[in-house]
Every structure is written in structure tokens, then in C-alpha cells.
Structure 1
Amino acid sequence: MNNNTLTLMAISGAMLTSVLFAPMGIAQTDKVEFICKASYDQQTNQPLPTTFVWYEGQKRALIRWEKQLGGKTPLERCTAITQRFQEAYNNGSLSFLTNGIMNNQPVICTAKEYGGNCITLLMTLRPQDNSLDILNSLADALSGRGVGPVRHSSGTPQRYYEINLQEALNKAPVSQD
């Protein structure tokens, strides 16, 4: 690639970054990354796959994966769903979390506005899971009110939570794992 192509790519990337981060209230220079890695769980006394959010050089545990679903192991679910969180962040839809039904299964997804349609499917739940309970726990974890990561082991009304990700990440407890 020549210098003009690289310059054009850098300018395009900077413009795209400012468009994506503007709705979240996060400065262009702030980097938010969702990662999946093992984390020691004190309740089970073993490492479990965990979705973390990495922000300002610190990671915060978001979801600890314990159960298999649809033939996928906790590690496979962690990897796939962590990618979905990153996609939702990148496309600017992580501002609103909601619960719903897709393909006759309870889900957690994102919307771009209160009352809006699902934009990014974050996670499919087991039929016995209460999507509202998981949504409440996830909203608490993302808002810095939770005491730890959501444990995915747990006719529901639909709710929407608006998440100010920058504010939440500044308040959320830092993981020592």
C-alpha cells in the first residue's frame, strides 16, 4: 500500500471511531474491549470462562459462564457472546439492554433507543432462565452496582435499561483475576 492509501485508511478509521463512540459518550481515545478468558471462581474453586470488559487498563468481570447451552460449552459461549458485546459496543447499540424472545427462546439483546427493536443479540438463554433476572443482574454489573459478575446459571415482561458505559466503567469494581 502506498502512503496515500494508508493516510486515507487512517482518516476513515478516525471518522468511524468518532461516529461509533459519540453515542456512548466515550472519548475517541478511550478503548473499550470485551475479552473472554478464564477466571478463578471462589464458589466452585475452579477457573471458569468469564467475559470481561477492559477499559483504561483495567478489567472488570461481567459474566461468568457455568452452563452449556445448545451443545456449546461455557468456553464456546463465552467466546461467541464476548464477540457480540464487542459488536454491540462497536455499532453503538450497547446503550440500551433489553430482554425478549427470538426463535421461541428468551434472549438478552441491545436496542438503539428506549422501546426500540433488538439490534444486536447478546445472548440466548435456556428456557428455564428468567430473562428479567439475568437482565437486571447484567444491568447492575454494567452500571457498577453489581457485586461481581453475572453467573449464567440461573411470560417475562420486557424491560429496557439505559447504560452510560463510560460512567459505569468508572464505577465498576476492578477484577483481580
Structure 2
Amino acid sequence: MQLKPIISLFTSCALTAVCITSIVSQAKANDEVRFICASGYDQATNLRFPTTYAWTERGKIAIIRWKYGWFTSQTVTPEERCQQVSSRFQTAYNNQSLAYIANGTVNNQPVICTAKQEDAACDITLLTLRPQDDPLQILDDLKDILRGRATKPVEHSSKQQPVYYKIDIKKFLQTAPVEKE
């Protein structure tokens, strides 16, 4: 007969543990940042384009609006590029390697990448640029976005000396304007 109170106590403890775990998981999820690709509204053209967003508890923050195809042959669509780059941002964020962004060259192509420190090699390639893109201009635009100095996303539309910018990604995610639909 003493078995019933013990089973009841055990069941209560188990349910309490499950509830606490659920609450902690939800609280952690609220602090998470996800980089996603979603349709975003461009006020200048009154059209929607695939957009790389940082999704935070404050809302979605536009980083790159993919208006143009990567190759003139359209072998990679803006939607595909958006998905790829959003995934790379997520990987870099998860690995805590968004402290520095830099321009570089990977497989003889210009890229924007993350670096663990200034003057270090590229760690994670965020995006491969088109031949006609100006790596320094795109890097500078991305830096302004990630430092909270720009109010609109980068519009992704030669061997150069790499430039490194220190990024405070946590501050960006806390202060950057969020988009309203």
C-alpha cells in the first residue's frame, strides 16, 4: 500500500521536471537568432525579393536583399543564393565567428567571409561575389548593416588587399531596425 504514494510522488516529480525543461527551452529559444531566407518587400521598387534575415525575438532584420541572379545564365536563382547565404550566416553565428568580416579570394573568386581575428585567413565564406561586384563596396555595405549604421539591406547586385571589420553581432541584433510586413 505504500507503493501508491511513492508512484504518485515520482509521477509529480517527473511532470514537474518536464514542465521546467519546457519552460527553459522556450526561454532559450527566445534568445536564439536564426538566419533565414524569406520574401522581403523592397520599398524602392514596390516588389518582393528573397531576403536574408536575422530572425530575433525583436523581429526579422533584413541583411541582404537578393534582387539579381548570380550568373547571367541564371543557373543559380536569387532564391537559391538567399538560402545558401542564410545557411552560411547561421553556421558562422553558431560557431561564433562573426566577430570579423573580410573580403578575400576562395578558388580564384572574390568572397565575403568571416575571420577569427584581424589578418587571419577566411574562416567561413558568407557569400561568393559575381565578377562584376566590387568586393570592397559590398563589404563596406555589409559592415554598415551589421554595425547598425544602415537602415536598408545590402542589395547584392581583381585581387585587392583584404580589409577586416570588427563586428559586434550581439549589438547589431539588439539595435538594428526590424521589418514590418
TM-score > 0.5, shorter chain as reference: yes
Partner of 1:18: none
**Unmatched 5+ stretches in structure 2:** 1-13, 15-20
Partner of 2:133: 129
CA offsets per residue over residues 11-70 of structure 1, 9 Å max, x none? Answer: xxx9xxxxxxxxxxxx99721110100011122221100001012231110000011124
Q: How many residues align?
A: 153
Residue 141 (structure 1) aligned with residue 145 (structure 2): yes
Give 1:166's aligned residue.
170
After TM superposition, what 4+ stretches of structure 1 lie above 4 angstroms from structure 2? none
Deviation at 1:158, TM superposition (A): 1.2
Larger Rg: 2
CA apart distance, 1:157? 2.6
The structural deviation recorded for 1:116 is: 0.9
Q: Is the 8 A contact 2:100 2:166 kept in 1?
A: yes
Could you state the TM-score of these two structures normalised by the residue count of structure 1?
0.80
Root mean square deviation, CA, Å: 2.0
Residue in 1 aligned with 2:93? 89
Residues 84 and 122 in structure 1, CA contact (< 8 A), matched pair in contact too = yes
Identity score, percent: 48
User: What SS does the corresponding residue of 1:148 show, helix, strand or coil?
Assistant: coil
In structure 1, stretches of 5+ residues that fail to align are 4-9, 15-26
How far does the alpha carbon of each residue in 1:42-99 deviate from its partner, in whole angstroms, 9 at most, with x for none? 2222110000101223111000001112410000000010000000001111111000
